[in-house]
Every structure is written in structure tokens, then in C-alpha cells.
Structure 1
Amino acid sequence: MASTPENSALSSGLAALKQKDYQSAIAHLEEVCQLELDLSRVERAQIGLVTAYAQVGDREKAIAIAQTLTHSRNPRSANWANKTLEKLSQAATPQKTADVTGFVPMASPPAKPSFSLKRQPKTESAALTAEHLSTQQSETETRLQLDSNPPPSSEPPLTRKPSELSQQNRQWHQAGRAQRWGNLPQNISLVGSPQLLWGLQIATAIALFWWMRFTFRYGGPKINDLLLRLPLVNPLGFLYQDPTQLFLAILVILAVGLPWIVTGLLKFFYESQPLPLETLSAYSPDAVRTLQRYCRQRRLALPQLQLLPNPAPLIFTYGHLPKTACIVVSQGLLEQLGEEEIAAIYATQLGQIVHWDFAVMSWGVLLLQIPYLLYLQASIWSEKTSDRFEHPFLINLIQGLGATIASLMYGIYWILQFPLLWLSRWRLFYSDAEAVAITGHPNALIRALLKIAMGVADTVAEDNSARPKRDKSTRWLLESFNFLLPVGYKQALLFSAQTSDRTFEELLAWDLRNPYRRWLVALKGHPLLGDRLSRLTHYARFWRLEPELDLPSPPRPFRWTQTNLQQWATTTTQQLLHNAQAWPLLPSAIAYGCLGGLALRGFLWVVGKISYELYIWQLVWLSQDKLGYLFAACWLICFGVYLLVRINSYFPEVTATNAKTERDVLKLQLSERSLPPQSTPIRLVGKLTGQRGIGNALAQDLTIQSPAGPIKLHHYPLLGPLAYFGSGFPQPGAWIGQTVTVTGWLRRGATPWIDVEQIRTRNNRTARNYQPIWLTLMAFAVVAWAAYLIWTTPAT
């Protein structure tokens, strides 16, 4: 950076060193080492510190800093450090003093960190050791800064484990970072002003409360109406009450206790532990310097650091204030990412803290934990309880009740997500831009995001039968905290080991060029990965760096001119009118239902007005719909008719001659023109993975591991959780880990998936998908409902 305080301190320190004012030089150069991110300037300061400490007689500190410089990537600095270290070692003659009894005291070993990682043999790329923390500092000071004075220790230093994604043999360009950087101009960052993000956070909080209240007030009476029709069951009185005060109290309690509640959940369910700074420094000293320097510049408290003993590369931040912010990282991320990549991904979390979006998102995610944990506990309880009985009737009864409750809670968890989607997507663009401004290294962030996607894909693809407990907890963590993760676990599946022979540019082609990608990502919690990486590539080119990937630059920010507005309106209208060519069947039916409903209602209104003028009193009521019954009926009619017309073409017959195999699957997934309505019949053989047992009663977590890579399965059983009340019904959740044959229709939206026709095991057990039947029944039901509304419309 051109004129920062760190550069001024470096110049002052070197000038004091020339004037032989060693104490002043040490003070200035130590400040540079603590705050500066540019490694070349840090090394210059360290060289000066070695000289200064040697001149004042503090050889131990000089030797410690020289040892750090021996691992420099700059050959000149490393050679200088080796020669200087040899001279200092020869000159130093440490002796242990003995008392009159002849006893020689030994140096006390430093305190061990509270969390112990597996130690690896020391390598040439060893990072700063744990001994770089001064044992003379207080506990609070230790969290704020790392001192360069290492205490003597008999234990080998912690060294970072080499990055390993064992199943993916990819070549990385290792593109470098900027030598001079600063905040990105607004027209370059492509994210708009921070006020827009603040407005989106406020709108999200209001929408979340309103959505909860609307769902309860609308769904509660409907549930009671259903209970009234069932024998031996009474309606629930609280479902008729106004939930406003209750929901406000719940949201306030969650907001106040957020950091402590989430910490407890992570510790109890996922065994999280504190992450000492010295341990993080062993993996990435650059990350520690980034945290310290940025927090000091922004006058923020250093975030708490937590570590999850989880093999998947994960990182997220939670809290309600910057001083209560906590950054959680998994062991898999520390092991699979490089030093600069860890620092870059930590910088994204700092961006979320400074923009405060972490508070709203962690608040929303904590709310989602309530139904999600109830879903988990219901499925676990029913499985454990049913194992205690031998009578089939009791087993089926317990499993059926558990599956029903678990499915209901999972449905509530899924419904409550919608208000968080928009903020969850847009905030990542802001945090990416802030991370680049902090580190000046967009290429490291590109590699970090890609390695996270690859690591998550490989973790999800692991055989469940090998480590069922670990795999289940990983899946729970990925799903329940999905909105806080930098990469969605579903979008990561495309970056599995099976696709490692394809370039990243090929894997990201759909994200960058499909004309309907903005519509198809609307119901996703993460933006398209290609969109994010193209922005990072744009930042690299802005600083005249060689980008890690050869991606096109994103479009420039929208300008509110008459020409742009006309062009946007034309394009949007055309895509909306032709959504049948691009959208999945149900969203397309809803859109066409609205458009057709408006047109039909307008036609009926005109008929009513003409009838009034012509004194045809039997039709005048068509223009007098104060309660909106007719508009609802028109929408339902258009919606149902559209479904009936499109179902056969959306689910064409799958035969042995037209079904594609794994040789064509990857090509179809990567085609930039692929869209969901392009129903490609497919037949795949592979291992079925997902959650086992009752937790997967809705078949919501099924994936096939084929030679073309893992692909998500959309399966809709006929009875769903009710099938657990009886025996003999096929349960795909019980086939996890087995080799199966899947036939269905491959579709490509923001993520690829297969609409299942049937799943067949090797012993010829078959589970059929009843989605076309359910949609047909839905179409007839809504048309019948429309007829009822028309019949009951009051003639006024």
C-alpha cells in the first residue's frame, strides 16, 4: 500500500538502525512485523530486527527471528538468514547456572494449547512455531498479538500439514498477490454501497418475523381443520391464537443469547474447542497477522477462534456484536488449504464482521436450529426406541410417529429459510470484496473457494458404511449451518474427484454463460460460484495480476439510464414470458398461473362490465369481486391446466434406447445451454449415499455416486413418512451404501439433479418416484378448489 502507517514505521525503523538508535529501531520494526501484510516488507523489518537485537546483546531474539527467515521464499533472505544464524550460534555460549548444591535448573516448558492437533514431521515449508508466543505476556495480550521472542522448549514445533486433496490431482497456477493495494473503488468492487447491504439486513429481519407469523397464522387453523376430521384427535387450541408476542419474545431471546447458545450447540453436537493463536499460526502465520492488523486498524476486538474436529473444509462466523464474534474453522480446512489461502478465507469472515451481516445471518440460522434439532432428535429417538422392541406392530408404530414428527419439523425448517435467501447470497459478494481489500490477494481466495468445494464434495462422497457416525454428523453440520458456509454443499458436488480431469473453466461455464442463471439461483442460499470467481478474477486484473483462472469479467454495475431500463425491461419480460423453456415445472406453473390468471380475470371483468351495459344481469357479478375469490379461482384454473398440459412432456418415457449413461452425463451437466425443462432420460449405476433411516423419511438427502460424479436425487415416495407405519414398503434410506441403478431425468439448474423414476437394488428391490402422480393430483385438486370458489362467490 502506498502510504500506510506500516510503511512509515518501516522507514523510521531502518533510519534509526542506520543511526545506531537500536531501541527506537526495534520499536518501529516490531510494529511492522505485527501489522504489515506484505511479506517483502515484513522480511525487511525482520532483517533489521536481527541486526538490532544482535547489537543490543539479545541474541536469543535475533536467533529466533533468523530461524524464521530461513524459511523465506526469497532465496536472498534465506541465504542471509542462514549465514547470520551460523554466526549468531557460534557467538552464543548459553550456560546453565548451578547453585551451591550443584543442581542445574532446567527451563520450564511452555504451556500447551488447550486443543492438540496431530503433529507432523517438520518440513521445509514449516510455519511460525507455537513458541513465537511470549510466555511473559498476559492471557489477554496473548490473544491480541504474537511476540517474536520464543521461549526455550524441548518439544518439536507445530508445523502445518501439507495441503492434500488426495483424490484430486489438479495443477494450480499459484498466481501471486498484489505488491501495492488498497480499498477497491465502488465501480470495481461491483457490490454497491454498504448502505444497500444494511437495508437488505433490515428487510431480512422484518421479513423473517413476518414470514414466521404468516406461516403460523395460516398453517395453524389448517392443521386444526385436519385434526377435526381425524378420529380420536382434538384440535390444538394454541394454533388459533395470535403468535405475534410469542414470536417476538423468541426472536429477542435468541438475539440476546446468540453467541452463547451457538457455542453450546457446537460444543455439544459437534465437539468444537477453542483454537489458540499459536496453533493457527502453525498453519498460517499470514492469517494471524491478517486478524491482528485488521482488528487493530478497525479498532475491533480480536474475534474468538473455534476449531471443529471435522474432515470437511468449513469456516463460518456467528455472534450478535463485533466484540462477541466467533470464527469457527474445521480441521479439514486447516489441513487442505495453503497458508495464503487460509488467510484469505479468514479475511472474508472479517468482512462479514465489519459489515455486521454475520449478526443477522447467525440470528436467522439459530432460529432454524430449533426445528432442525427437533427433526434430528425425533429421528434419533424413534430409531433408538424401536430397537428395544421386537413386536413388529410396536416397531412400526414408533418409527411411524418418529418419521411423521421428524418430517414435519424438517418441513418447518425448510419453509423458514426463504426470508434468508437474498441476504445469504449478496453478503458473500461484499465479504469477498472486503477480503481482497484486506489481503491484496484475490488469487488466494479463488484457490481457497475451489479447494473448499473440492473438499466438501470428497467428504460427502465418502462411503457411509465406513464411518457412519462421522459422516452423519458432517451432513448435519453442512445442512444446518449451510447459510453461514462460504460454499454451499450442494453446489460443491460438481467439483468431485470424478471431474478432476476437467478444467475449472469448463466446470464453471454454466454459471457464467447461461442466460437464465439469475432466475434459477433465486431459491438458493449461495450465489453461483462462477459468478463469485469471475469477480475475483476481475479484481486480479484490476491490480494487473495474472489471475488464477481464465474467466470473463462480470458485467459492469447497472446504471439507471433510460436505455438500460428499457433494455432490462425487454429482456426480463421476454424471459418471464418464455419461462417454460427455462424454469422447473412447479415454479413455471406458478408464474404462468399468475400471468394467465390476470389475463383471465381481466377478460371476465370486461364481460361483466359489458353485461351490465347490456342488462344481462346473470353475468354482472363477474365484475364485482370485492373479496378476490374470482382472481384466486382464475389463478388456480390456469395453474392446474398448465400442470396437466406439461406433465407428459416434462416426464417423457425412459426406455433402454433413449436413456443416457455415465459417458454422456458429465457433458450434459457442463453444457452452458442446459436447462431444467430439457428432460434427458438417464440410467446410472452407482453407490447410494445420504442420511440413513428415519432422518431421511422424506428422501430429501439422496445422492448417487457414479463414475460421472455425485448427483443429487429428487425422489418423492408415495406415502412418505407414513410408510413407516407398515412393513414391506421400500425405504431408500435403508439402502445407503449399496450399489443401485437409478433411472430418471437429468436436469441442470443452479446445481444438477436427477428426478428419479425408480431406484433398483441388486436384489431387485424397487422404489418408484410418484412425482408425476402427485402433480397430477395437485392439478385436479386446484381446479376443483377453483370451482368451489366460483360457486361460493357472493353475487354483489
Structure 2
Amino acid sequence: MGYKFRSTLTIGLLYGMLFVLILAVDFFLPDDIYIFSPLMIAILSCIGIFFQYLISPLIIGWIYRIEWVDYNRLEQNDPHIAQLIQNVCQKYNFKLPKFGVIHGGTPNAFTYGWTRNSARLVITDGILELLNAEEQRAVVAHELGHIEHNDFIVMTFVSAIPVMFYTIFRLLTNSYRYRRFTSVKPSRGSSDDNKYAQYILLIKIGLAIVSYIMYIVGYFLSLFISRLREYYADEFSGKETADPNSLATALVKIAYGILQEPEKGQKTFNDKNQYVKALGIFDKNSAKNLAYSATNGSGKIDNTLLARACAWDLYQPWAKFAEITSTHPLPAKRIKQLSYMSFKEFKKPPKVDLSQAKVEFEKQMGKSALDEFFGELLIYIMPKLIFWTWLIVGGILFIANFDITTFSPLFNGYWSFMVFSLVLAGIFQLIQNAFKYKSGFKEHKIVDLIGTIKVSPIRPVPTITKGFVIGRGVPGLFWSEDVVVRDEKGIMFIDYDFGIGFINTLFGIFKAEKLKGKDVEITGWYRRNPSPYIQVHKIKLLDGSGKSFGNYKRAFWQFVGIFLIALGGILWFLL
């Protein structure tokens, strides 16, 4: 079953769900008139999403620092890219996309626009020393695939459905504010009137629950469709270049950064007047989708290192868990699919060997990592889980008129029982902190970190890593607080997230750009979720100034845990 058919089928399923829900609301609540009917709400939601669709390209062009390049210049400097774009556009009968460059060392790229005849294709300087000419063509073809497939429009319609489900959910839950009855009803206070009101209320509750479930299902289906469109663009690239292997090796270099020595004549970061050759093919809103680069001593791809990096994607349960909420498939899965395509359709042996990935996984994790996964997942969700579970249990006991004082002598009433959930949440928050923010920082090279399979969002590697800041985490975005560093063999995403958006933005505007081009020492926690990154504890400049930038997210969550325990204890004592 092809990717186009599967995505079309899933889109049809989403719209079918919406159609059934609208019919159900109109059928079961025929006399319950709102300011806006569910159908009108759906129409208004479409208008809002269409308006967002119209202005989004303008906003992207405004917030990203993009230099637009004409095709005469592109033909002079990179004729192999210009020729590919022209050939594909002529073959599929759409206009040349506007070509732009973001100047920065972080490798990334994306396309955007309204339709395939008004597309923009943006790439960064960071790929210059990572990809050869064939790989550059392969990733450009991937982006052209998104344009040819009209993914701008497709994903706009797809993203509209979960919004509509949620809008109908809110309409049902808040409808008591707007309801008015137009048909003749029994007189006020009659038993028939009360039965009718109860009937309407039960139907609304049921439909609201169904709407919210559809919203959650629709959200995950929309992400699934996005991942299918990525596979579809990969397939387009493989066919148009007749070389799926080149896209596979490009993904190895960009997603995992495993490099060969630059080929003779290949451009480097020092070619200031040149622009980019490559493209990201990653979700620009999840810039952690770049990891590190590494070669072995002979300058060849280190297959053992590649196997370890891909093993996490292929066999670590956390990877499968994280992919569910991602717009892009895991890179190793795309590489496997491209290798299969190369062999099946073009009779070419795969260039990327993942045969040792399972072996490397079992060396570090054993036959299965499910036991560790479930334990870490429990720690990951425990503070919120225990808080809400305790409240729900308390509510059930209250409804059942259970004497809470017989439950335990610690509680003298329902409120004391309820506030004790704060104490439990605080205790488990501190337990989670102990796992997430381990001490014992040791110096590591980037390749040492990426070869570690036994790592997750909860299980980190405390590390001290030195490198050179090559750009922002999200290239061209002037408030991006994250950066990317490179050492002699690697590239790593550095996550500065403080946990408070306003502080992140201030750091991005006033500090992050000043770090560019500086040698730094990063103290933090290496994680994968699913892409590799280091969560910052401290960034220290190595220019002799001794200046450093701290990140107090660990201290913040320690404070939250202690505060919840103290607050719950005080309220429990007072009650």
C-alpha cells in the first residue's frame, strides 16, 4: 500500500469522523439551539484555519532571517542543484520555488508557501561541509517532493480536523450559557420538564466525551499523516534522483552527523559567499533532530557508531513512544526504507549497513528494554498521575458518602484527604528529579555520548562537553534560545529550555546570538527523546573571561517539589 494511498485513506477517516459527529449532534439535540450550530462552528473553524494558512508564509518570512537568492546566482555556484530544481519543476509543471538561505552553521532546511506554484525553499549554510553533490540533490529532491505533493494544503486541511473536534467539545461543555428552547416545552417545574433537561444533559455529556476522544484520536492521526507525507517525499526523492542511497547517507550525516572526510573540492563553512547545499528534511519546530558527527581514524564512516545511533531508534521502546507525537518518522526507519527501495527498484546494494544495530543494542540493553522502559515511564508520569488519581479517588469516596475518618486517622475530613495529594505529588516530583538530574558530571566527547544506547528522557548521562558554537538551534529564528556546538568530531544540539517561555525568549534574544562563534564548555545532561541533545546546566565561555550562563531548571523543579510538600502539609494541618 503506497504512502499516498495510506495518507489519503487516513484523511478520509478523519473527515468521516467529523461528518458523523456533526450529524450526531444535530440529530440528538434538534431542539437545543445554540448561538452557532455545530455545522456553523465547523465552518467558522475552517475560516479561521484558512486565515492562518494565508498569513503563515508571511509570518515565517518575517521571523526568519532569510536571504533570497536568484536562480542566475544559483546556476553559477551550484549548477547541479539549479538543474535538478528546473528539471523537476518542468516535469511536474509548477513554478520554480523561491530560493532562500539562512546563514548559520546549524544544518537545516524547510519549504513553505501557499501552493506548489508559490513555494519557498529555504536552506542553511550548515550543510556545506556535510553533504556531497549527490546527497545535496537527494535532499533538495525531498523538499521538491513536498512541493509537488501540495503538502502545504494537505496538512492545512489535516490540522483543521482536530481543531474542529475540540471546538465542538467546547461548544457542548459550555452550551448551557447559550441554550434557548424554541419548541413548546412543559411548564416550568413539571416532572416532564426535569426529565427533558436531564435527557439533554446526558446526551451533551456523552457527545462531549466522544468529541474529546475524537480530538485526541484526530491529533494523533494528523501526526501519522505527517509522517506518511515524509515517507512519500523520500520516495519522490529516490525516484527523481534514481539514487535512494544518497538520501539515506544524507540522513546519516544530518540526523546522526556521522561524516566521512570532506571530498576534494567540497566547500566548507569558510565559504562565506556561498549558500547552502542541503536540506533538512526535519521538523523545524523540533530542532533537536540533529545530533553529532563522527569519523573513525581513516576518515570512513564508523559503522559501529552508526549501528549504536540507529539502534536507539530501531529497538529502544522510548523511541517508539516518542515517535507517536512526532511529525517526522525516526531517521533509522527512513534509512531502512530507502535502502530497501534502492535494492528493490534500482538493483543497487544499500550503502548504509544497519545489520549490527540489534547486536549493539543487546550489548548495552540486553534482549529487551521493556522492563526499564515501563519503570522510567512510571517515574516520568508519576507526579501528575498520583495527584489526579488521589483527587479522583477522593471524589468517588465523597460521592459514595464514605466516612473518610475511618480510612485513616491522619484525615479528619475530605478536604484534608484532598490536600494530601499535594504532599504525594511533591514527594514523587523530588523522586523524579533524582532520576532526571543526576550529579557526577564527567567529560565526554560528542561521539562518546551518541554511542550510548542506555539513555532516555528520564535516564541521562551527566556530562561536560566542550565545543564551538556554530549557530542557533532553530536557524534564522532570532529568539531561538538553543544553540548547536561542534567539537573535532561531532555536532550536538544544546537545549537551554528553562521551562518558562518568557525567560527562554529573553535568553534567545540577548544571549544566544552572542555565543555564536565562541568556544564553550557545556555542563548538563545528555538525553534522547528521540533525538540526541544536552540539557543545559551551565554554559561557560572558554575565552578567558570566565563568563558563564546558568540554567536553573533543576533548581526550579526541586523548589516545586518542596513547595508542594510544604503547601500540602500546611493545609492538611490547618484543616
TM-score by length of 1: 0.45
Q: Distance in 1 between matches of 2:111 and 2:147?
A: 8
Which amino acid in the other structure matches residue 492 of structure 2? I
Q: Secondary structure at the match of 1:483?
A: coil
- Cα shift at 1:333: 7.0
Paired residues of 2:95 and 2:116 also in contact (CA < 8 A): yes
* Counterpart in the other structure of 1:442: 244
* Counterpart in the other structure of 1:675: 456
Paired residues of 2:391 and 2:418 also in contact (CA < 8 A): no
* Residues 742 and 478 of structure 1: CA distance in aligned 2, closer, same or farther (over 3 Å): same
Q: Secondary structure at the match of 2:394?
A: helix
Q: Distance in 2 between matches of 1:196 and 1:553?
A: 36
Which amino acid in the other structure matches residue 741 of structure 1? E
Q: Distance in 2 between matches of 1:641 and 1:606?
A: 24
Q: Distance in 2 between matches of 1:506 and 1:491?
A: 17
- Cα shift at 1:753: 2.6
* Residues 672 and 344 of structure 1: CA distance in aligned 2, closer, same or farther (over 3 Å): same
- Give the unaligned 5+ runs of structure 2: 20-40, 160-218, 263-267, 359-367
Superposed CA deviations along residues 649-692 of structure 1, whole A, max 9, x for unmatched, are: 433333xxxx43235x5233212333243333323333355559
Q: Secondary structure at the match of 2:429?
A: helix
Question: Does the alignment pair 1:283 with 2:80?
Answer: yes
Q: Distance in 2 between matches of 1:360 and 1:315?
A: 20
Relative to total residues, which structure has the larger strand share, 1 or 2?
2
Question: Does the alignment pair 1:764 with 2:546?
Answer: yes
Superposed CA deviations along residues 371-402 of structure 1, whole A, max 9, x for unmatched, are: xxxxxxxxxxxxxxxxxxxxxxxxxxxxxxxx
User: Once superposed, what is the RMSD of the aligned Cα atoms?
Assistant: 5.9
* Counterpart in the other structure of 2:112: 318
- Cα shift at 1:546: 0.6
* Counterpart in the other structure of 1:647: 433
* Counterpart in the other structure of 1:540: 342
* Residues 575 and 202 of structure 1: CA distance in aligned 2, closer, same or farther (over 3 Å): farther
Q: Distance in 2 between matches of 1:551 and 1:428?
A: 21
* Residues 308 and 769 of structure 1: CA distance in aligned 2, closer, same or farther (over 3 Å): closer
Q: How is 1:185-224 mapped onto 2 (pairs within 5 angstroms)?
A: 186=1, 193-196=6-9, 198=11
Superposed CA deviations along residues 357-383 of structure 1, whole A, max 9, x for unmatched, are: 223558999xxxxxxxxxxxxxxxxxx
Superposed CA deviations along residues 666-719 of structure 1, whole A, max 9, x for unmatched, are: 233212333243333323333355559xx9999822344334523333446799
Superposed CA deviations along residues 430-467 of structure 1, whole A, max 9, x for unmatched, are: 22234435554322322344455589999xx969xx98
- Cα shift at 1:530: 1.4
Superposed CA deviations along residues 239-291 of structure 1, whole A, max 9, x for unmatched, are: xxxx99999776433434666x379659x942314436993994254554444
Q: Secondary structure at the match of 1:494?
A: coil
* Counterpart in the other structure of 1:494: 292
* Counterpart in the other structure of 1:210: none
Higher relative contact order (CA 8 A, sep 6+): 2
Q: Distance in 2 between matches of 1:743 and 1:331?
A: 27
Which amino acid in the other structure matches residue 6 of structure 2? S
* Counterpart in the other structure of 1:483: 283
Superposed CA deviations along residues 770-792 of structure 1, whole A, max 9, x for unmatched, are: 22220022234556777899999
Q: Distance in 1 between matches of 2:404 and 2:451?
A: 62
Question: Does the alignment pair 1:712 with 2:493?
Answer: yes
Q: Secondary structure at the match of 2:351?
A: coil
Superposed CA deviations along residues 7-57 of structure 1, whole A, max 9, x for unmatched, are: xxxxxxxxxxxxxxxxxxxxxxxxxxxxxxxxxxxxxxxxxxxxxxxxxxx
Which amino acid in the other structure matches residue 772 of structure 1? R
Question: Does the alignment pair 1:359 with 2:153?
Answer: yes
Which amino acid in the other structure matches residue 579 of structure 1? E
Question: Does the alignment pair 1:292 with 2:90?
Answer: yes
* Counterpart in the other structure of 1:103: none
Q: Distance in 1 between matches of 2:225 and 2:97?
A: 24
Q: How is 1:661-672 mapped onto 2 (pairs within 5 angstroms)?
A: 661-662=443-444, 665-672=446-453
* Residues 691 and 321 of structure 1: CA distance in aligned 2, closer, same or farther (over 3 Å): closer
Paired residues of 1:361 and 1:483 also in contact (CA < 8 A): no
Q: How is 1:509-548 mapped onto 2 (pairs within 5 angstroms)?
A: 509-522=311-324, 524-543=326-345, 544-548=347-351
* Counterpart in the other structure of 2:66: 270
Partner residue of 2:394 out of 600, 604, 614:
604
Paired residues of 1:662 and 1:684 also in contact (CA < 8 A): yes
Q: Distance in 1 between matches of 2:90 and 2:569?
A: 67
Percent of residue pairs bearing the same amino acid type:
20
In the comparison of the two structures, how many residue pairs are matched?
460
Q: Distance in 1 between matches of 2:439 and 2:60?
A: 51
Which one has a bigger Cα radius of gyration? 1
Q: Distance in 2 between matches of 1:258 and 1:723?
A: 23
Partner residue of 1:754 out of 534, 554, 572:
534
Q: Distance in 2 between matches of 1:354 and 1:792?
A: 66
* Residues 451 and 715 of structure 1: CA distance in aligned 2, closer, same or farther (over 3 Å): closer
Q: Secondary structure at the match of 1:532?
A: helix
Q: Distance in 1 between matches of 2:419 and 2:404?
A: 25
Q: Secondary structure at the match of 1:193?
A: helix
* Counterpart in the other structure of 1:578: 375
- Give the unaligned 5+ runs of structure 1: 1-185, 207-242, 296-300, 366-416, 556-570, 582-587
* Counterpart in the other structure of 2:481: 700
Q: Distance in 1 between matches of 2:158 and 2:372?
A: 32
- Cα shift at 1:608: 4.4
Superposed CA deviations along residues 175-203 of structure 1, whole A, max 9, x for unmatched, are: xxxxxxxxxxx1xx578713245359979
Partner residue of 1:551 out of 344, 350, 354:
354
Paired residues of 1:687 and 1:706 also in contact (CA < 8 A): yes
Paired residues of 1:274 and 1:307 also in contact (CA < 8 A): yes
Partner residue of 1:687 out of 468, 473, 482:
468
* Counterpart in the other structure of 1:744: 524
Q: Distance in 2 between matches of 1:790 and 1:440?
A: 69
* Residues 552 and 641 of structure 1: CA distance in aligned 2, closer, same or farther (over 3 Å): same
Q: Distance in 2 between matches of 1:441 and 1:724?
A: 42
The 10-residue stretch of structure 1 (713-722 or 426-435) with the greater mean CA deviation from structure 2: 713-722
Paired residues of 1:319 and 1:362 also in contact (CA < 8 A): no
TM-score by length of 2: 0.59
Which amino acid in the other structure matches residue 80 of structure 2? Y
Q: Distance in 1 between matches of 2:447 and 2:115?
A: 45
Q: Distance in 2 between matches of 1:660 and 1:595?
A: 33
Superposed CA deviations along residues 225-251 of structure 1, whole A, max 9, x for unmatched, are: xxxxxxxxxxxxxxxxxx999997764
* Counterpart in the other structure of 1:306: 98
Q: Distance in 2 between matches of 1:599 and 1:615?
A: 16
Q: Distance in 2 between matches of 1:789 and 1:250?
A: 45
Paired residues of 2:254 and 2:291 also in contact (CA < 8 A): no
Q: Distance in 2 between matches of 1:278 and 1:754?
A: 36
Paired residues of 1:711 and 1:754 also in contact (CA < 8 A): yes
Q: Secondary structure at the match of 1:493?
A: coil
* Residues 553 and 194 of structure 1: CA distance in aligned 2, closer, same or farther (over 3 Å): farther
Paired residues of 1:757 and 1:769 also in contact (CA < 8 A): yes
Q: Distance in 1 between matches of 2:459 and 2:155?
A: 35
Superposed CA deviations along residues 59-80 of structure 1, whole A, max 9, x for unmatched, are: xxxxxxxxxxxxxxxxxxxxxx
* Residues 787 and 357 of structure 1: CA distance in aligned 2, closer, same or farther (over 3 Å): farther
* Residues 278 and 769 of structure 1: CA distance in aligned 2, closer, same or farther (over 3 Å): closer
* Residues 691 and 714 of structure 1: CA distance in aligned 2, closer, same or farther (over 3 Å): closer
Q: Distance in 1 between matches of 2:128 and 2:540?
A: 40
Which amino acid in the other structure matches residue 652 of structure 1? K
Q: Distance in 2 between matches of 1:547 and 1:356?
A: 30
Superposed CA deviations along residues 156-215 of structure 1, whole A, max 9, x for unmatched, are: xxxxxxxxxxxxxxxxxxxxxxxxxxxxxx1xx578713245359979x99xxxxxxxxx
Q: Distance in 2 between matches of 1:197 and 1:334?
A: 38
